[in-house]
Every structure is written in structure tokens, then in C-alpha cells.
Structure 1
């Protein structure tokens, strides 16, 4: 039994799918299948039942999960400890980040991290805020980056940036130029919202509460999983939504009326780094967190564009 076989087993068990596990591990499907088959053959045990295109853990597979997870955590801790003993930060940093952070904020900072410390390998997995927090807690991610609120947990949190949502309308929408909107206006509009569990959805619902509303009070036409899908839907119809101003720093923003909230508390949210205090803090993670830290006092933060 090798650590690589255990790593592959855990990924396949999590996703219940060989092809998706191969994509995440950056391996071929045949290599993943061969690793699982070798493990089963070596110990004469079946770890998965094959059900059509999907697979499910057997009882033996479930029994192996706990030990395999602990084994990989110990191995990762040993690698982190050895990496920390070198003169320069080396090793790997597995980052999970929510969509707005991934698409509009994180990439330049990862490039700067590579410029400073080329010996650190970084991987990035996009997910929504709830999924990122779960990945950090389960050990799939070394570091999580999210926007918006999270329920209480033992994860360490560090503010690394900030964001603000704008109300997005088609330019021709009858309410696009109204100076102040009220709850009746919100009820009269057709809405497209992000999916539950996303930071954008959480911030939107908090804004609705400030307006004395909840999602059930709105005419919700669609719930979509990406900012780009929402912008495309707004462009095609007469719907509205709330999105980060960072998603609109492109020529396509000319197609929309961007309204900065002035009739209720502005829907601002923090970008937060999540880490697990139970796991060894590597120099790679420390260096990256220091790079992501907020601007010092007195230096103006990024601001949303002027409303149109």
C-alpha cells in the first residue's frame, strides 16, 4: 500500500466517480482505476461497488475511510514539517476559493506569490463559500478564501480584503433611473439570484432583510451558479440581480445600469481566509497570508465604480 494509492482512494470515495477523481488529481482515468484495482487485488477485498457509471463504497471501503484520512493528514503534516525546515518556503499550497474571489481577485496575488517563492506549488479549486469551509475542515484544502458570512466553527478566520454588491439592472429597465428604490419596487422586479451557499447569496439576503424582505417576497425567475450566467440572463431579459462590483470591470458592464445601494445600508462583505488550527501552519501558508493581508491604515481600499 502506498500513500499515492490512499490519496487516490480518498478522492474517488469523496466524488463517487473515477473520471471526476482523475480530473481533480490530474491523472488519467486508467491510472486511477489501476490504483484502486491494485489496492483491492493486493488485499483481496472490494472497496467499491460499480453501479452504472457511478461507484459506491462497500462496507470495507467505509471501514478504510477513517484510517486512510488520518494517514493522509499525518503524511501531509510530515511533509509540511520538512518543508518548513528549508531556508526558503517550498512545498505545496492547496487553495479552495469562492467564485468572486477566484474569478476577480485571487489570480494576481497567486502570480505575485509565485514570483516571490517559485518553490511553492499552488493549486486552486473553485467552489461556493459553504463548500470551501467544508474543504478546509475536512483537510482537502490547506487554505480557504471566501466572501460573506459563515456559521460559527473552529476554523481560524483572517480578513484579507473587502467587497460590495451592486444592484444590476438592464439599462432600459423602468426602475434603472429611479433615485431611491423601496420594498414595493423590489417586489415588482423579476430577480435572478445566486445559489444558496454562495457568499453572494448570503450578502443579498442580508440586504433584503435590511429592506424588510426575504427571498420569498421576490419574484425569483432563476437561481444560477455563476456570475457570468446571471449577467447573460440579465442581458437576455428584463431581470435584475445583485453581484459584486468586481464582476463588472469589463466592457460588458456597458450593457447594464449599476446601482450602488443608497437607500439602505450598503451590502459590504469581507474576503476571509480560512485555515484549520489543528493542522501545522507551514511557512508557505504564512507567506501567502501575509501577502493577502489588507492594505495598511491610511491607504484607500478598492472602491466600486460610480453608479450609472
Structure 2
């Protein structure tokens, strides 16, 4: 192995003893001594000053020691990445997502992962944030992607990306004629809301409460698609993820309204049971999700929906 002489040298340098280094490496002491001599001959410089009771690195040895540590680290890293490329990943992956993520992000992630590892059996579940979180906590799902805030001490929660929430109104709505609105403009309006348990509903409820907005009337729908269609039909106004309306805004089927002084951001997160075993499939899928290349490709499909 190309790293063996350097590994032997580093072990001797750290243990400061040829015999203990030989035991550590399961080699004979003559073999260790020979490797060090060969290394010194190859580099044309003495690396170790030794006496019966003492061993110390020369200036050349100190220099090599620092660089050898870096080389060995990079060599191990390369081995791991090559193993990841060449080792067949099998088993199953049970992944869940809340509706917005499940409809607009998860399919891209699963398609990429399935292309890489076709031998993994994938089962995907979509529900609102409360339902999906419960499924993870009860070990019915290996991991999940959810929107909004999740607070459970038995879950490992890892931020994935930010999501912009925007106010959308029917094209014929009075607010559609305004370039920008304030909280006062939102008073006594008809709102389209998601069901209780939805991350988007939690976000909307908190904003309405914080801004002291009086809701004239509300209509509740069980999916983001239904909320979007209700707004297009003229039933009311809604706060939605920019992911779900980008095509409709481009087609001018509804209007996005900027709220004065506000940019509404929430977090998409990866959740899984804390202290649970991370299978190879779970680990690679999570790494893929967090990859800058994957997130960048998603952003290319989702340019800012409101200027």
C-alpha cells in the first residue's frame, strides 16, 4: 500500500519507540526499522535520531511528520469516497415529507438517489408536518423532510434550506392593484388556510396573530394544491410557499404581493429519531440532500417568485 511507509513513520514518531510501533502495527521491529531506512534513503535525509534510551525527530523528520499526517488523512478520505462509489448499497429507505416538500423537492431527491443506487427499495410517504413527524417518532419512517418548526427532544433535527413564504391573491382582488401592502391592508379579508397540523398553517396562524390581523372569514383546505386553486378561483387570499406557485405566477394566473418591510422565511428540515442507527442508504441520501450541488439545482428550478 502506498501509505504504509508513511504510516509506519508517523506511528514511530508518535510512540517514540520502534518496538511499541512494531506491536501497534503488527510488524516485526526489523521490518519497521527497514521501512524507516528506506524512507530516509528515498528522501536523502535522516529523519530520526535514535539512541538506546531516546528517540527524536530531526528537522527533516518534523517536516515530514506534519505533511505525512495530512497525506494519510487525505488517503483515508479518498478510500472512503471510492468505497462509497463502488460498494453496492442495498436495503430499504422509508422516507417521508410534508406536502410542499413532498410534492416539489422529494421527487428530485429520490430520482437522483435511485439512479445512483437502484438496489435500494424506496417507500415514500407524504402528509402534513404533524403526521410525518409522528411517523418518524414512532419509527415508521427512517427520516423525513418537514417544513416549519419541530420541537421534540427525541428527534435529530438538521436544517436543510430556507423557504420563502409569499402572499398570493386572485388577479381581480383589490390588493392585486397595490405594489406593496402593510398589515392594515390585510384586515377583514377572506383567507384560504391549510388544515391544523400543517407547517404552512402554523406559519400563517402565527403571522396573523403577531400582526393582529382580523380574519373576516376563512376556508380550510387539506393540501397546498387546493389552497392554490382556491386563490385562483377568487375565494380568498393565502400565504403559501414560493415552491407551489412559481408556474402559476409565471402564467399570471394569480398575483404575488410584497408585504412592506417583511420577507417571510421559514426552514425546511431533515428529521430522524435521535440515537437511531444510520444505515448506509440513510447516510448517503442525507448527504445528497445537503450537497450544495443538489440545493443549487433546486434553486435553478425555483427562481425568486417575487421581485
Pairwise same-fold verdict (TM > 0.5): yes
Instruction: Name the larger-Rg structure.
Output: 2
SS in 2 for 1:255: coil
> d(CA) in 2 for partners of 1:128 and 1:114?
24
1:225 matched to which residue of 2? Answer: 222
1:189 matched to which residue of 2? Answer: 189
Matched, 1:271 2:300: no
Matched, 1:255 2:259: no
1:96 matched to which residue of 2? Answer: 96
User: How far is the alpha carbon of 1:304 from its aligned partner?
Assistant: 4.9
Contact 2:105 2:298 in 1 (8 A): no
2:143 matched to which residue of 1? Answer: 143
SS in 2 for 1:190: strand
1:43 matched to which residue of 2? Answer: none
1:287 matched to which residue of 2? Answer: 284
User: How far is the alpha carbon of 1:179 from its aligned partner?
Assistant: 3.0
Q: Deviations over 1:196-234 (max 9, x none)?
A: 111111222333344244xxx312331101111112222
Instruction: Say if 1:203 and 1:294 are closer, same or farther in 2 by CA, change over 3 A.
Output: farther
User: How far is the alpha carbon of 1:177 from its aligned partner?
Assistant: 2.6
User: How far is the alpha carbon of 1:306 from its aligned partner?
Assistant: 4.2
User: Aligned pairs, how many?
Assistant: 219
Contact 2:169 2:254 in 1 (8 A): yes
- Deviating beyond 4 angstroms after TM superposition, the runs of 4 or more aligned structure 1 residues are none
1:307 matched to which residue of 2? Answer: 306
Structure 1 residue runs without a partner (length 5+)? 1-83
Q: Deviations over 1:123-154 (max 9, x none)?
A: 11111101111101101101111011112332
2:164 matched to which residue of 1? Answer: 164
> d(CA) in 2 for partners of 1:250 and 1:179?
21
SS in 2 for 1:150: coil
**Map 1:208-223 → 2, pairs under 5 A:** 208-213=208-213, 217-223=214-220
> d(CA) in 2 for partners of 1:183 and 1:266?
13
Contact 1:203 1:267 in 2 (8 A): no
2:238 matched to which residue of 1? Answer: 241
Structure 2 residue runs without a partner (length 5+)? 1-83
**Which stretch shows the higher mean deviation, 160-169 or 135-144?**
160-169
Provide the alpha-carbon RMSD of the alignment: 2.6
Instruction: Say if 1:306 and 1:131 are closer, same or farther in 2 by CA, change over 3 A.
Output: closer
Instruction: Say if 1:109 and 1:256 are closer, same or farther in 2 by CA, change over 3 A.
Output: same
Contact 1:143 1:275 in 2 (8 A): yes
1:44 matched to which residue of 2? Answer: none
- TM-score under structure 2 normalisation? 0.65
> d(CA) in 1 for partners of 2:105 and 2:163?
10
SS in 2 for 1:254: coil
2:19 matched to which residue of 1? Answer: none
